Structure 1
């Protein structure tokens, strides 16, 4: 159910308790999932020593997580659009949390890879579940701000592991394994509370798919009909054929949405640059600028905190103005400051400042991109739309760690971070192309309507 804009309601606190609860719960789930996404970057050196593998090999492990995440975006989107968004959310939180414990106690690098793959599958459900829940719970004129609250808490989730590891690893007897297990324990408690809260206090007009439950109702009616028992085999065959037809319809619908595909391409390019920076920022600060591990990890956390605040600003600006120029300006600033970092010629303090600026400017684009995706969607395909866009994001997260890890080992930090700046410049060009296509598309539709 798409809630109408309500005149006079200019801020999230004016909304119903149910809406505020949904925004808070989804934001908290984003915090947990983003914490899981960046468990490795703060401890890459420790993992390399413990498992006896190179940075490039650990980059492959991070890429495996991103690849699994990518592959399962559309299945979770189908689940959210056609069954129950609580189910998609519960599977996401449950499987990802269980996988964190597998990663924590992995005896070998091979088991670590399996844990990373399962973690990626679990995390795949959070975008296809989160965005439809927020869109149905929030009126349109405040939707970007609701997205920005989620982005704010997600950025804090990115910033949590570096600080947490710096604190925990300082205690005698505690290792990275115990630290990751503690993160998993927190995630398990949050998952239980969230699912209980959705079941108890959030109505089906928010959690049920827009297409309704016609399939479920039909199945129930067939179960009540005694004659259906004689046609069980035929029904099973028809069900399989129906599922295959559903898959084909989903793929045709994706290919028939050029605007959504263009946003997915933008998400791919921007994510590749962003994850390259996130994955190796600590390595850059340590090897390129001589910072200690604790200082480098604290800088990484501070970068995400600044990004969290910038997400809120980006949400407000996206609701008040056109999101396109905001995205262009955000990525253009990233190009400049990552280029300075790539030089390794600036003072260490200036490098820290550049990372903080990058953390803020790149975060401004998040709510704006989400609002563009929301505007391109019908209400019945929100899960699929955000799944497709997230495929781009997660493909970038899969490509970036092994790509830039190998580039660092072969060509050095300067080349790798110069490449990140170049890819950010490509994101600016892709954004301009998307905006141009949208503008020409609107002009063509206006001409048809006028005729």
Structure 2
């Protein structure tokens, strides 16, 4: 029997649900486009600003660090005020930051633009996942997450191709290309916010009511609210374990994304345009794999899918790190890595959704995204320094080693989940017998 895909089940979704899935997916496309502005033009930026790859790695790390710091504040905003407001602030600030980067006169201003961009992007995940969760039924939720992931992967793949095209025209520079990306993001932000205002109800955009009464929440001081949030975070070991997994996997993934073009140029002798097209193709393959991962996650267990995804990355990155395979084989390895690493995304999101009450979705996805963005902050400066120092072989061997650590963390998470399930079953059986 042919597998059921999201498109087979579209009649099961209301027009409002389809609109939310489409708008959130488009916002993720814009979000991911902003995230990878630097990797396709690292060499150009290095020459123009007179800085090393390691310094540009720090600039990318600044973006990831700012993103990490503002995950929980945006999660609090989404859970307690309005998800539409969270999304609007995120789109607005990140788009303004892209224009600042486009016209940055110095490396210091470029760093400021990266920091503000990280803050703006931080609001996406805390807004996206609660919007999708409230707009879609549970049996289609992983597929909805995968549509968002599909468009996000296309967003990752867009800048390398776009830069290759724009830089091919005489008189056009990287600054013009970045400004055009910002203009597209600004237009999309306006369309999205108008559509949410007119066509999406408060049942999707408003936060879920928590068990505490409104009077109780109003009586809490700001310090007490912070303490309450911290206690809630510490009381969610499953979510914290997924955040640790996200941290390890993201460090490896962002290391590969940030320096795949450098690897192909310096390690395998490819020209810049060919290397950039390979990076884009990685994300296109990943986009298709995200849809497959969403379908598999809804129909089967998420754990083995995550495990197989990370294990395959270990093998393929290990081959790339040798620098001894043919250039065409290296391109093939990167394309396969782009697909296999993407399979785990919807599965991990579905695990997080299952561990969450409706009133804490924004916070929980923010916690997991803290892990993801911490990895994105650590990876560029870490692997940039390794490339500048010991070299490409050591840097990509380290990426493979961290991918192996992701496999180990996955096994730990799954074993703990199995223990918790057995304990819940035991308690339930004892309750029924009483």
Shorter-chain TM-score: which interval?
over 0.9
2:135 is equivalent to residue 137 of structure 1: yes
Are 1:64 and 1:117, in contact at CA under 8 Å, matched by a contact in 2? yes
Are 1:338 and 1:418, in contact at CA under 8 Å, matched by a contact in 2? yes
Q: Deviations over 1:219-266 (max 9, x none)?
A: 9xxxxxxxxxxxxxxxxxx97961221111111100111000000000
Q: Give the number of aligned pairs.
A: 424
Mapped partners of 1:109, 1:249: distance in 2: 40
Question: Deviation of residue 11 (structure 1)?
Answer: 1.7
Q: Deviations over 1:186-224 (max 9, x none)?
A: 000000000000000001000000027999x879xxxxx
Q: Deviations over 1:341-376 (max 9, x none)?
A: 000100000000000000000000000000000000
Question: Deviation of residue 13 (structure 1)?
Answer: 4.3
Q: Equivalent residue for 1:422?
A: 401
Are 1:42 and 1:165, in contact at CA under 8 Å, matched by a contact in 2? yes
Q: Deviations over 1:61-114 (max 9, x none)?
A: 000000000000000000000000000000000000000000000000000000
Among 165, 168, 190, the residue aligned to 1:167: 165
Q: Which runs of 5+ in 1 are unaligned?
A: 1-8, 220-237
2:296 is equivalent to residue 317 of structure 1: yes
Residue pairs, 1:205-244, within 5 angstroms = 205-211=203-209, 242-244=221-223
**3-state SS, counterpart of residue 389 of structure 2:** helix
Q: Equivalent residue for 2:325?
A: 346
2:100 is equivalent to residue 102 of structure 1: yes
Are 1:82 and 1:213, in contact at CA under 8 Å, matched by a contact in 2? no
Q: Equivalent residue for 2:46?
A: 48
Question: Deviation of residue 14 (structure 1)?
Answer: 3.0
Mapped partners of 1:13, 1:77: distance in 2: 31
Question: Deviation of residue 449 (structure 1)?
Answer: 1.4
Question: Deviation of residue 446 (structure 1)?
Answer: 1.1
Mapped partners of 1:119, 1:135: distance in 2: 26
Among 271, 278, 281, the residue aligned to 2:257: 278
Residue pairs, 1:288-327, within 5 angstroms = 288-327=267-306
Mapped partners of 2:249, 2:177: distance in 1: 30
Q: Whose Rg is larger?
A: 1
Q: Equivalent residue for 2:112?
A: 114
Among 365, 373, 377, the residue aligned to 1:398: 377
Among 13, 17, 23, the residue aligned to 1:19: 17
Q: Equivalent residue for 2:248?
A: 269
Question: Deviation of residue 137 (structure 1)?
Answer: 0.3
Q: TM-score, normalised by structure 2?
A: 0.96
Among 370, 374, 377, the residue aligned to 2:353: 374
Q: Equivalent residue for 2:423?
A: 444
**3-state SS, counterpart of residue 411 of structure 1:** coil
2:303 is equivalent to residue 335 of structure 1: no
Are 2:87 and 2:127, in contact at CA under 8 Å, matched by a contact in 1? yes
Are 1:81 and 1:384, in contact at CA under 8 Å, matched by a contact in 2? yes
**3-state SS, counterpart of residue 398 of structure 1:** helix
Are 2:386 and 2:395, in contact at CA under 8 Å, matched by a contact in 1? yes
Are 1:135 and 1:143, in contact at CA under 8 Å, matched by a contact in 2? yes
Q: Equivalent residue for 1:154?
A: 152
2:411 is equivalent to residue 432 of structure 1: yes
**3-state SS, counterpart of residue 358 of structure 1:** helix
Q: Equivalent residue for 1:73?
A: 71
Are 1:13 and 1:20, in contact at CA under 8 Å, matched by a contact in 2? no
Are 2:210 and 2:359, in contact at CA under 8 Å, matched by a contact in 1? no
Question: Deviation of residue 450 (structure 1)?
Answer: 1.2
Mapped partners of 2:408, 2:118: distance in 1: 29
Among 58, 61, 74, the residue aligned to 2:59: 61
Question: Deviation of residue 12 (structure 1)?
Answer: 3.2
Are 1:83 and 1:213, in contact at CA under 8 Å, matched by a contact in 2? no
Q: Equivalent residue for 1:191?
A: 189
Q: Which runs of 5+ in 2 are unaligned?
A: 1-6
Among 80, 91, 94, the residue aligned to 1:93: 91
Q: Equivalent residue for 1:260?
A: 239
Are 2:30 and 2:155, in contact at CA under 8 Å, matched by a contact in 1? yes
Structure 1 residues 383-392 or 241-250, which shifts more? 241-250
Q: TM-score, normalised by structure 1?
A: 0.92
**C-alpha spacing 1:396/1:240, structure 2 compared with 1 (3 Å):** farther
